[in-house]
Amino acid sequence: MNPAYETVEYAREGRVARILLNRPDQLNAFNPQMHRELLDALRRAERDPEIRAVLLGAKGRAFCAGQDLETIRSREDLDYGDLLREGYNPIVQAITGMDKPVVAMVQGAAAGAGASLAFACDLAIASEKASFVEAFIHIGLVPDTGSCWFLPRLAGLKKAVELALLGDRISAAEAERLGLINRVVPPERLEEEALALAERLAAMPPLAVARTKRALYRGLSASLEETLALEARLQSESGRTEDHREGMKAFFEKRRPGFHGR
C-alpha cells in the first residue's frame, strides 16, 4: 500500500521506487511539509528490501524551483542555517547515503535548491526543455543543499565559480556537456528513458551497487592509499557473495545473471 502524501507521490514499479514532487502550481518549490514528506519517501524506499533503485522526478512543468519564498517571506527571525540543517541537508544525506542508486528525472526548470537536488542524485537524465540555475546569488545568498560540494566536483572549480557567482541559467545540453547530468532526451521520451535506466540499475547486484556507491563517495575525500585499502576490503566482502558466484556462473554459461542481494 502506497503512503498518503500530499506534496510528493510515491509508487512502486517493480523494483523501482518512483518519487514525484507534487506541488506543480508552486513549481514544486519546497515548503516544510515537502521537506518532511520527501525525506520520509526516500527513507521508505531505502528500507524496502524489494526496492533496488529510486527514480526522483516531479509533476508539472518545473522540476523544482527551490525554496518556496512565500512560506518564509514574513519570517524575519528565520535562521537560514536552521532551514538547511532541518529541511534540506537530511534529504541530500538520504540520497547520497543510501545504498540504492537514485536517478533524477528532470523535465523542466531546476533552480536553487532544485538544481542542487538534481546534482545530488547519483545519475540524472533531463528533457531537452530542462534548465538549471544556481539562483542563490540573485537574492544575496550562498549556494546550498550541497551545491558548493557537487558543483566543483562535477563541473570543475572555474565553471563552478562562474555558475555560482553569475547565477546564469544553463540548458540541459550545457549541463550534460559540463558533466552535471548524464543524458538529455526529447521530452516525450524522458519518462521512458529514465524508468529504463532505473530498471537497469535495479537489475544489477544490490550488494555490489551499494559498495561501489559507498567507495566512490568515500574516494572523493580519501587519499589513494586509503582508497586502495577500501577497495581491497570491499572486494574481499563482495567476492564471498552469492551474487558474485551467480555472476561468474552466468558468464561462463553465456546467460543473463539473476542477482538476489546475497
Domain ranges of the chain: 8-202, 206-253
**Beta carbons within 10 angstroms of residue 242's beta carbon:** 13
Q: What is the CATH number of domain 8-202?
A: 3.90.226.10
Q: Which three cell numbers stand for residue 94?
A: 538520504
Give backbone dihedrals phi and psi of 242, rounded to 5 degrees, phi first: -65, -35
Say if CB 178 and CB 150 are below 8 A apart. no
Phi, psi of 77 (to 5 degrees): -95, 5
* Stretches in the chain below the pLDDT threshold 70: 1-3
- pLDDT score at 31: 95
- Helix axes 89-97 and 32-47, enclosed angle (nearest 10): 20
What pLDDT was estimated at residue 186?
A: 98
Write the CB contacts of 54 (distance below 8 Å, at least 6 apart in sequence). Answer: 16, 17, 19, 42, 45, 98, 100, 101, 102, 103, 198
Phi first, then psi: what are they for 85, rounded to 5°?
Answer: -65, -35
User: For residue 61, is it left (φ>0), alpha (ψ between -120 and 50) or beta?
Assistant: alpha
Q: Write the DSSP symbol of residue 16.
A: E
- Residue 1 has what pLDDT? 46
Distance from C-alpha of 243 to C-alpha of 250, rounded to nearest angstrom: 10
In this structure, what is the dihedral angle of CA atoms 94, 118, 60, 188, given to the nearest 10 degrees?
Answer: -120
Q: How many CB atoms lie within 10 A of CB 262?
A: 11
Q: Which phi and psi (to 5°) does residue 131 adopt?
A: -150, 160
Q: pTM above the 0.75 mark? A: yes
Output the nine-digit C-alpha cell for 251: 558468464
The CATH classification of domain 206-253, taken from the options 3.40.640.10, 3.20.20.140, 1.10.12.10, 3.30.720.200: 1.10.12.10
